[in-house]
Structure 1
Amino acid sequence: MSKNTTEADVAFISALAELLNKNELTELSVKREYGEDDSLDVRVVKQANVVQMAAPVMQAAHVAAPVAAAPAPAAVVANEDPAQHPGAITSPMVGTCYMAAEPGAAPFVTVGSAVTEGQTVLIIEAMKTMNHIPATKSGTVKRILVTDGHPVEYGAPLMIIE
């Protein structure tokens, strides 16, 4: 942090936090240079509301037989990271996701749609440029993980194709 912390620095950080909220960003990082060996590094991060699902826990008093292995896969599914799925399409940029070519038009794909490699599955608008996002492989759309018109982050999973 700067050697000369001032009210201007506090106002600068407050302005960054406001910019973060106004533009629905989750993280913002800025380095402000004041001169040789004097700078201010600021990283503002918005903590998302995270909903965690726990696997059901069986009480020992209620268990008459050995516990079945069924709850374990449920726990794995609840904690599965869609971005690690082999059929995941991830966002190559930060922007706004659109599921159709224009408002009111039919979406490019829906759950259950058959797609071919290279087919446009959605659009990400970044800096007023519409970027067509292609299917990375042929298959069937199993899950759509984004909402039309909402922002997406770099590397965020967009959909699963199997």
Structure 2
Amino acid sequence: MSAVKFDPEAIRALAQILRDTDLTEIELVEKDSRLRVVRTPPAVMAPPPMGWAAAPAAAAPVAVAPATAQAEAVPDVTKHPGVVTSPMVGVAYLSPEPGQPPFVAVGAKVVQGQTLLLIEAMKTFNQIRAPKAGTVTRILIETGMPVEYGEPLLIIE
């Protein structure tokens, strides 16, 4: 079985389309060939809605352990069976309005379908609901934090 060869110029052209259109991925399928180009856009902090306090501009520096030690010390939350991930790119909010208590807190018991948080995308606030009943054991984000598709938001056990 021979390897499929792709035209480097076609890949460069697709990458340029991504940059020109601000898209993050593009896929070209033709017969038995498939070419997918993905880029990671620079992190951009969206301004919070009116009345919402902005998240701190910069976090304090954090010491990072070597990769092997870090892998042993911190389990990968993306593989946790109770992880709730973001279904979209946007800005996360833990409460319904500024000054209101959060939808859930660590230790809270939730039922399937209960609103856990909001994600603002394209000026629309989308409710993120509990996929199952359980107890919230970790909240992995903060209000005003930008989130990506598939990013872990919280854990329900």
What TM-score do you get using the length of structure 2 for normalisation? 0.60
Deviations 1:118-137 (A, max 9, x none): 11010111111111111111
Indicate the structure (1 or 2) with the bigger Cα radius of gyration.
1
Say whether 1:116 aligns with 2:111: yes
1:139 to 127, 134, 140: 134
SS in 2 for 1:146: coil
Equivalence map 1:3-82=2 (5 Å): 28-29=24-25, 43=39, 45-46=41-42, 52-54=64-66, 75-78=71-74, 80-82=75-77
- Could you list the runs of 5+ residues in structure 2 that have no partner in the other structure? 1-8, 28-36, 44-60
In 2 relative to 1, CA 125–104 (structure 1 residues): closer, same or farther, beyond 3 Å?
Answer: same
- Unaligned runs of at least 5 residues, structure 1: 20-26, 32-40, 58-73
- Using the TM superposition, give the Cα deviation of residue 42 of structure 1 relative to its aligned residue in structure 2, in angstroms: 8.7
| Greater RCO (Cα-Cα under 8 Å, separation 6 or more) | 2
What's the CA shift string for 1:58-84, capped at 9, x where partnerless? xxxxxxxxxxxxxxxx85342x22121
Distance 1:143 1:42, change over 3 A: closer
- Tell me how far 1:55 sits from its aligned partner: 8.5
Amino acid at match of 1:153: E
Q: Which runs of 4+ in 1 moved over 6 A?
A: none
TM-superposition CA deviations, 1:107-158 (whole Å, max 9, x none) = 0011111111111010111111111111111111111001101110000000
Q: Please give the alpha-carbon distance, in whole angstroms, between the structure 1 residues aligned to 2:137 and 2:64.
A: 22
Q: Does structure 1 residue 104 correspond to structure 2 residue 116?
A: no
- What do residues 66-109 of structure 1 show as CA deviations (whole Å, max 9, x unaligned)? xxxxxxxx85342x221210000000111110101111110001
**How many pairs does the alignment contain?**
118
CA-based RMSD of the aligned residues comes to 3.6
Q: Distance in 2 between matches of 1:154 and 1:42?
A: 13
Tell whether the 8 Å contact from 1:30 to 1:43 is kept in structure 2 after alignment. no
Identical-residue share of aligned pairs (%)? 48
